[in-house]
Amino acid sequence: MHGAPGAAAPAPTTPAATAPHTGTPSWRLLTVLGAGGALAGGLIVTAYLATVQRITAHKAALVVGAVREVLKAPARWDTLYLVGGKLTKQAPTGPGAQSVERVFLGYDAADKTLGAAITAGEPGFADVVSLIFGLDPGTGALLGVKVLGHKETPGLGDKIERPTFLQQFVGALTPLKGVKTKGADKSEVQTITGATITSRTVIRIVNNATARWQPLLQAYRQEGSR
């Protein structure tokens, strides 16, 4: 059984090399590791098959929920992929296909364009703030903003998730301006007291993403094609 003395400390030692040692030939070591690997693989694949459906369904539901929320209940939407500097409905294939950027163009029941749902993220106070927002590419007006993830300070920066802050973005005109007190200008957004940097980050994300995607969306519209 175990020839080694049992004086092991909790700290582990390096995984031992599989070079032939006195007693245990390397084929035995390899067989053990191979068998162990196969067993492990079998267990993992079983667990994967049991859970993959629920996980993908949940992830898809999150996207659907977010798009619905920021486009104000569209009847349907197309996924547009950014390939070669242009937006196209053709889904890309091959390695790296997963990381191709995409936006969602929503239509109402009468097939009129409602707007595009765009995800974007930039560094905020603590870490990256990521959000999704609905943009009307024709007028540059916003339909809604939803914060997808952040690591801002609880009690201060996390106020960007509050409806009182996000409500300001509905109908606002890009490019947005952050102000201390909101006036009549439709492009003004009131920043949160004690969370100026985080509020400004949200405004900056929306402005930068709009500047980037609006021309692409307008070019796509102009092509008119399917």
Partner 1 sequence: MSDLAWILISSLLVNNFTLTLFLGLCPFFGVSKRIDTAVRLGVANLFVLVLTALCVWFLNRFILPAAPFLRLITFIIVIASLVQVVEMAIKKWSPVLFRALGIYLPLITTNCAILALAIFQTNRGYTLAQGLAFAVGAGLGLTLALALMASIRVRLDVADVPALARGLGIALMIASCLSLAFMGFAGLGAA
Partner 2 sequence: MSEAPATFDDVLRGLWKENPVLVQMLGLCPTLAVTNSVVNGLVMSLATAFVLIASNVFVAALKRFIPNQVRITSYVLIIATFVTIADMTLEALVPTVHKQLGAFVGLIIVNCIILGRAEAFASKVTVVRALLDGIGMSVGFAIALLLMSGVREMLGNGSFLGFNLLGPQFEPWVIMVLPPGGFLTLGLIMLAMGWHAERKKRLAKAAA
Residues in contact with partner 1 by the rule CB under 8 A? 11-15, 17, 40-41, 44-45, 47-48, 95-96, 98-99, 123-127, 153, 197, 200-201, 204
CA distance 141 to 137: 8
**Number of other residues whose CB lies within 10 A of the CB of residue 79:** 13
Q: Categorise residue 210: left if φ over 0, alpha if ψ from -120 to 50, beta otherwise.
A: alpha
Which residues 42-71 are close enough to bind partner 2 by CB under 8 A? 43-44, 47-48, 50-52, 54-55, 58
Indicate which single residue of 34, 37, 65, 123 sits in contact with partner 2 (rule: CB under 8 A). 37
User: CA angle, 38 as apex, 4 and 6 as ends, to 5°?
Assistant: 10
10 binds, among partner 1, partner 2, none (CB under 5 to 8 A by kind): partner 2
6 binds partner 2 per the rule CB under 8 A:
yes
Is residue 217 within 8 Å of residue 209, measured between CB atoms? no
Instruction: Pick the closer one to partner 2 by CB: 17 or 110.
Output: 17
123 binds, among partner 2, partner 1, none (CB under 5 to 8 A by kind): partner 1
Task: Give me the sign of the Cα torsion angle 65, 70, 75, 78.
Answer: negative
Is 179 in a helix, a strand, or coil? strand
Residue 68 corresponds to which tokens in the numbers above?
A: 């619905």
Smallest separation, CB 199 to partner 1 (Å):
11
- Using CB under 8 A as the criterion, which residues of the chain lie in contact with partner 2 when the complex forms? 1-4, 6, 8-18, 21, 24, 28-29, 32-33, 36-37, 40, 43-44, 47-48, 50-52, 54-55, 58, 153-156
